[in-house]
């Protein structure tokens, strides 16, 4: 796609994607709920205020696109790859240039990657391109051929989940879309038998397919996500990694949002009731797709710490409302309504990075190590109880 198009062609394609939404006069007067398709084909429901927010966001995306085109014109098409400063033999001027690129890139990515550039930027910066380059050229095709017709518990679960993955989407919810998603998921289940398939990956892989355009690129993005970006064992049978992340998240909620944490604890509300889906589906089932992909822009560059920043930001944004709740159902309702109508990714990411405060990868790693023993003990006790019940039944 990118090898044959000029920068002007790409710019024109980009501009044509970002359409202005215009609700009817009747809808504007009555402030009715309106339905429209977003950039990735999902049907979105919102009121006129939501539409206005989306239009403002899309105008910012256009402006951001012009910044990327300008940088490509001045620094070259792959300038964002020239950010490494670890080589000892680099001249000081080149080191400064690389550092400047790295600082510029971090700021740009937090403001959003233009949709038309997203596939190649993700593929390069996430490590997927490097991972693919270490495998034989025909790796994906050979894997799909080798797994064709094979039936496993993973393939049966995948087949069960395909029609439930973004139902109603104009491409994903078609025989062609189901087949493509199935190949990616089945292929990966054979690549990593420890993971196999876990519910939640269907939503992640589906969104990757929509962004990356090709099955093979979506497959390698899924591989780098599970093998390099996210914590180990997040999607294994016992979900031990996910349980660890939930405990770590609770710790950070206590530190970063102490009033909310204290109030929810008094209500005996377990934050994993909402946060488990956020972490397993990487917000793809909760946030509007255009907002989700802005989160993923940062995720693929800065790593899994982004998930904690965003999850905390959602709680922080609704602090006042959450503090006056008295029932668990009210908390869930507020959070679900908030996420479903978070059409402004800049608002979310500003809170996530400017108000939540710093959380280094090293700090998160230490918290994970602290929580792991308790999680493994809990999972072991669960297995023992299940085995005991099976013996009693016999």
| pLDDT for res 191 | 96
Residues 168 and 126: beta-carbon distance below 8 Å:
no
| pLDDT for res 386 | 74
| pLDDT for res 85 | 43
Find all residues with CB under 8 Å of 311, minimum gap 6, and list them. 249, 275, 278, 279
∠307-346-99 over CA atoms, to 5°? 75
The number of folded domains in the chain is: 1
∠330-332-334 over CA atoms, to 5°? 70
| pLDDT for res 19 | 60
| pLDDT for res 34 | 82
Q: How far is CA 237 from CA 204, 215, 307, 361, in A?
A: 18, 25, 22, 25
| pLDDT for res 46 | 84
| pLDDT for res 221 | 98
Contacts of residues 144-151 at CB distance under 8 Å and 24 or more positions apart, as own/partner, are 144/183, 144/186, 144/187, 146/190, 147/186, 147/187, 147/190, 150/190
In a domain, 275, yes or no: yes
| pLDDT for res 263 | 97
Instruction: Kindly state the tokens that stand for 303.
Output: 């790593």
| pLDDT for res 5 | 45
Find all residues with CB under 8 Å of 300, minimum gap 6, and list them. 122, 125, 126, 225, 229
| pLDDT for res 151 | 97
In a domain, 290, yes or no: yes
Q: How far is CA 99 from CA 79, 90, 291, 300, in A?
A: 12, 12, 28, 19
Q: DSSP strand E in 47-167: where?
A: none
Give a three-class secondary structure readout of 89-114: CCCHHHHHHHHHHHHHHHHHHHHCCC
In a domain, 114, yes or no: no
| pLDDT for res 81 | 84
In a domain, 31, yes or no: no
In a domain, 316, yes or no: yes
Domain range for 298 is 241-393
Give, for 34, the enclosing helix (H) or strand (E). Answer: strand 34-37
Assign residue 283 the CATH number of its domain: 1.10.472.80
Assign 75 to helix, strand or coil.
helix
Residues 168 and 156: beta-carbon distance below 8 Å:
no
Give, for 204, the enclosing helix (H) or strand (E). Answer: helix 201-212
Nearest to 337 by CA among 314, 308, 311: 314
Could you report the average pLDDT of every consecutive run of 10 residues in the chain (394 residues)?
41 50 48 81 87 87 90 86 55 56 87 94 96 97 96 97 96 97 98 93 98 96 97 88 95 97 96 96 96 98 96 98 96 96 95 93 93 91 76 62
């Amino acid at each position: 796609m990118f090898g044959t198009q000029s920068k002007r062609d790409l710019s024109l394609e980009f501009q044509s994607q970002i359409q202005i939404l215009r609700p009817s006069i009747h809808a504007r007067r009555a402030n009715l709920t309106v339905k429209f398709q977003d950039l990735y084909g999902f049907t979105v429901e919102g009121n006129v205020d939501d539409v206005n927010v989306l239009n403002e966001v899309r105008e910012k995306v256009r402006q951001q696109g012009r910044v990327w085109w300008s940088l490509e014109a001045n620094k070259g098409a792959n300038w964002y790859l020239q950010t490494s400063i670890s080589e000892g033999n680099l001249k000081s001027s080149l080191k400064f240039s690389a550092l400047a690129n790295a600082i510029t890139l971090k700021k740009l990515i937090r403001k959003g990657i233009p949709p038309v550039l997203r596939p190649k930027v993700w593929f390069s910066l996430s490590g997927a391109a490097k991972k693919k380059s270490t495998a034989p050229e025909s790796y994906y095709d050979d894997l799909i051929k080798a797994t064709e017709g094979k039936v496993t518990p993973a393939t049966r679960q995948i087949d069960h989940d395909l029609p439930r993955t973004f139902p109603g989407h104009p491409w994903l919810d078609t025989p062609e879309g189901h087949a493509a998603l199935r190949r990616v998921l089945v292929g990966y289940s054979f690549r990593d038998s420890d993971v196999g398939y876990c519910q939640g990956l269907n939503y992640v892989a589906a969104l990757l397919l929509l962004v990356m355009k090709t099955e093979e690129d979506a497959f390698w993005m899924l591989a780098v996500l599970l093998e390099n970006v996210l914590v180990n064992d997040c999607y294994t049978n016992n979900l031990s990694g996910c349980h660890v992340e939930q405990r770590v998240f609770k710790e950070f909620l206590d530190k970063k949002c102490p009033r909310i944490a204290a109030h929810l604890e008094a209500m005996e509300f377990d934050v994993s009731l909402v946060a488990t889906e956020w972490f397993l589906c990487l917000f793809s089932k909760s946030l509007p797709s255009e907002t989700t992909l802005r989160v993923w822009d940062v995720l693929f560059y800065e790593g899994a710490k982004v998930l904690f920043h965003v999850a905390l930001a959602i709680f922080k944004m609704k602090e006042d409302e959450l503090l006056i709740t008295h029932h668990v159902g009210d908390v869930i309702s507020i959070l679900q309504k908030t996420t479903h109508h978070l059409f402004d990714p800049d608002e979310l990411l500003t809170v996530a990075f400017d108000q939540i405060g710093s959380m280094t990868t090293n700090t998160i790693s230490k918290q994970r190590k602290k929580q792991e023993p308790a999680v493994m003990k809990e999972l072991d006790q669960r297995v023992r109880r299940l085995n005991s019940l099976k013996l009693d039944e016999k």
